[in-house]
C-alpha cells in the first residue's frame, strides 16, 4: 500500500489514464452531437441509473434546498464565498488602461469578460459545494453575463445551495462526458457556451480535451493528486493526513512524498496505514494508495527537480526552510507552505481556487482564476505626431516583406 515510486512511471501513468478513455468518450460526444437531449436522457439512465423528467433544475427546487441543509453549513458556505470572492477580486484587471509611451503614441489593453461559460461540478461519490463556489465565483467577479452549471444527478441540496450563494440559477442535472459535450455543442435544453471549466474524472477530462475546437477549456483537471516535499523535521502525521485527504477524493487520485529522509518515509507509511484503517472512505483511499508512495532523494535540490518534473496539482512543502524551497519551485498548481498549511484549507476557505491542472499539466497551465473568464484586446491610439515617429520604420519593414500596401497605408496618411 505504501511503496517506493519511479517518478517517470508515476507521471506517465497519470497521462495514460486519459488516453485509455478517449475512444469511449468520442462515442459519447458523437451521440450528443446527433441526438441532443435524447442522448443526455439515455446516457443518464445508463450511467447514473436515473430516469430524468427534466434536465434543468427548476428555481423552486433550488430555493427549497435551503430547507434541507443545516444552517451552520449554509453559514460556512457564505463565509467561504466571501473569502474566495475577496481573493479573486484582487486578480481583476482594469477594464481599460492606456499609457502614452512616447509623444503621439498611446498603448493599452481593453479587458472584457466572456459572454457565456459553463461549469462542471462533480457528483456521484460525494457532493462538492466547494467546487461550485470555486468554478462560479471567478466568473461572477470577471463579469460573465451567462453562467450555467452541469452536475450529475441526483443533485445534492448542498450543491444547489452553494450554486445559489455563488450567484447562478441555470443548473442542469447531467454529468460525465455527456455534460461536457452538451455545454460545448449545445442541445435543445442547454445552450452552447464559449468556455468550460471545472474538474472531473478521466472521462470528463478527456471530453474537455477532445472538444477544445468547439469550446475553450480551462485545463485538464482531475483526478486529484498531491506531492509533498519533506525533510527530517517534518511531522509524519501531518503528511499522512494530507495524503489521505487527497486519496479519499477518487480511486484514481494519487499521492507522492518526495523526501530527503528515508526514515521519514517509513514513519509516514506507518501513519498512512494506521489512519486509513479507520477512515470513512477506506475503500476509495486504499485503491488510490495503490498508485501512491514515496521517492527518497539526496538533497532538497534533487527534491525540487523531482517535483518540477511531476508538476503536481497540489504541492505541500514541509521542510526546515519552506520559503527558501518555495522560491525554487517552478511547476505546481497550488503550493502550501509550512506544516500548518493543510491542503484542505485551499480546498475550502483560504480563498485560493482549488480547480487546478493535474497529470503534469501544471507545466503548461495555471489554476483557475479571473483571467480564465476574460479576453484581452490591445489598444493603440496614434496621432499624426506618433505616426511620423514610427512611419519610416513601418514603411521600411513592410517594403522589405513585400507587403507594399501595408507601407502605402502609412505613406498615404503621412502625405495626407
- Catalytic (active site) residue 401: no
Close Cβ partners of 17 (under 8 Å, ≥ 6 residues apart): 202, 223, 252, 359
**What's the full length of the chain, in residues?**
416
> β-strands 116-120, 146-151: how paired?
parallel
User: Considering Cα of 323, then 363, then 351, then 243, what sign does the dihedral take?
Assistant: negative
Q: How far apart are CA 21 and CA 204, in angstroms?
A: 10
Edge-to-edge, what's the strand order for the sheet holding 314-318?
A: 3-4, 293-296, 254-259, 225-230, 314-318, 334-337
For cell 497519470, name the residue: 14
Residue 313 among the catalytic residues: yes
Nearest to 243 by CA among 231, 232, 254: 254
Q: What gap in Å lies between CA 224 and CA 247, rounded to an integer?
A: 8
Pick the catalytic residue: 194, 271, 313, 395?
Answer: 313
Q: Are 255 and 226 in contact, with CB atoms under 8 Å apart?
A: yes
SS3 149: strand
The one catalytic residue in 314, 354, 372, 395 is: 314
Question: Among all residues, which ones are annotated catalytic?
Answer: 313-314
Amino acid at each position: 500500500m505504501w511503496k517506493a515510486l519511479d517518478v517517470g512511471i508515476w507521471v506517465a501513468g497519470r497521462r495514460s489514464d486519459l488516453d485509455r478513455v478517449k475512444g469511449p468518450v468520442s462515442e459519447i460526444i458523437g451521440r450528443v452531437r446527433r441526438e441532443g437531449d435524447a442522448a443526455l436522457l439515455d446516457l443518464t439512465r445508463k450511467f447514473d441509473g436515473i430516469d430524468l423528467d427534466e434536465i434543468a433544475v427548476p428555481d423552486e427546487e433550488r430555493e427549497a434546498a435551503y430547507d434541507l441543509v443545516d444552517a451552520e453549513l449554509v453559514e460556512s458556505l457564505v463565509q467561504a464565498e466571501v473569502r474566495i470572492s475577496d481573493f479573486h477580486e484582487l486578480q481583476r484587471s482594469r477594464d481599460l488602461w492606456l499609457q502614452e509611451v512616447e509623444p503621439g503614441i498611446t498603448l493599452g489593453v481593453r479587458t472584457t469578460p466572456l459572454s457565456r461559460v459553463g461549469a462542471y461540478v462533480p457528483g456521484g461519490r460525494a457532493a462538492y459545494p466547494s467546487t461550485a463556489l470555486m468554478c462560479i465565483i471567478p466568473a461572477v467577479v470577471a463579469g460573465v453575463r451567462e453562467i450555467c452549471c452541469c452536475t450529475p444527478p441526483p443533485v445534492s441540496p448542498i450543491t444547489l445551495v452553494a450554486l445559489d450563494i455563488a450567484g447562478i440559477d441555470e443548473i442542469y442535472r447531467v454529468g460525465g462526458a455527456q455534460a461536457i459535450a452538451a455545454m460545448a455543442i449545445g442541445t435543445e435544453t442547454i445552450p452552447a457556451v464559449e468556455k468550460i471549466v471545472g474538474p472531473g474524472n478521466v472521462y470528463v477530462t478527456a471530453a474537455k480535451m477532445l472538444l477544445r475546437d468547439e469550446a475553450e477549456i480551462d485545463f485538464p483537471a482531475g483526478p486529484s493528486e498531491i506531492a509533498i516535499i519533506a525533510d527530517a523535521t517534518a511531522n509524519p502525521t501531518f503528511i499522512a493526513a494530507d495524503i489521505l485527504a487527497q486519496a479519499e477524493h477518487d480511486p484514481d487520485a494519487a499521492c507522492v512524498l518526495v523526501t530527503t529522509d528515508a526514515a521519514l518515509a517509513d514513519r509516514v507509511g506507518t501513519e498512512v496505514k494506521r489512519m486509513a484503517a479507520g477512515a470513512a472512505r477506506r475503500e476509495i483511499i486504499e485503491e488510490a494508495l495503490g498508485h501512491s508512495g514515496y521517492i527518497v532523494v539526496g538533497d532538497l535540490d534533487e527534491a525540487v527537480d523531482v517535483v518540477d518534473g511531476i508538476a503536481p496539482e497540489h504541492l505541500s512543502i514541509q521542510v526546515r526552510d519552506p520559503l527558501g524551497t518555495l522560491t525554487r519551485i517552478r511547476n505546481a498548481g497550488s503550493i502550501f507552505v509550512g506544516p500548518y498549511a493543510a491542503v484542505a484549507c485551499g480546498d475550502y476557505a483560504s480563498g485560493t481556487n482549488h480547480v487546478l491542472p493535474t497529470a503534469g499539466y501544471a507545466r503548461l497551465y495555471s489554476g483557475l482564476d479571473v483571467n480564465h473568464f476574460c479576453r484581452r484586446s490591445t489598444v493603440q491610439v496614434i496621432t499624426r505626431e506618433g505616426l511620423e515617429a514610427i512611419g519610416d520604420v513601418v514603411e521600411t519593414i513592410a517594403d522589405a516583406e513585400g507587403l507594399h500596401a501595408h507601407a502605402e497605408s502609412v505613406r498615404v496618411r503621412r502625405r495626407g
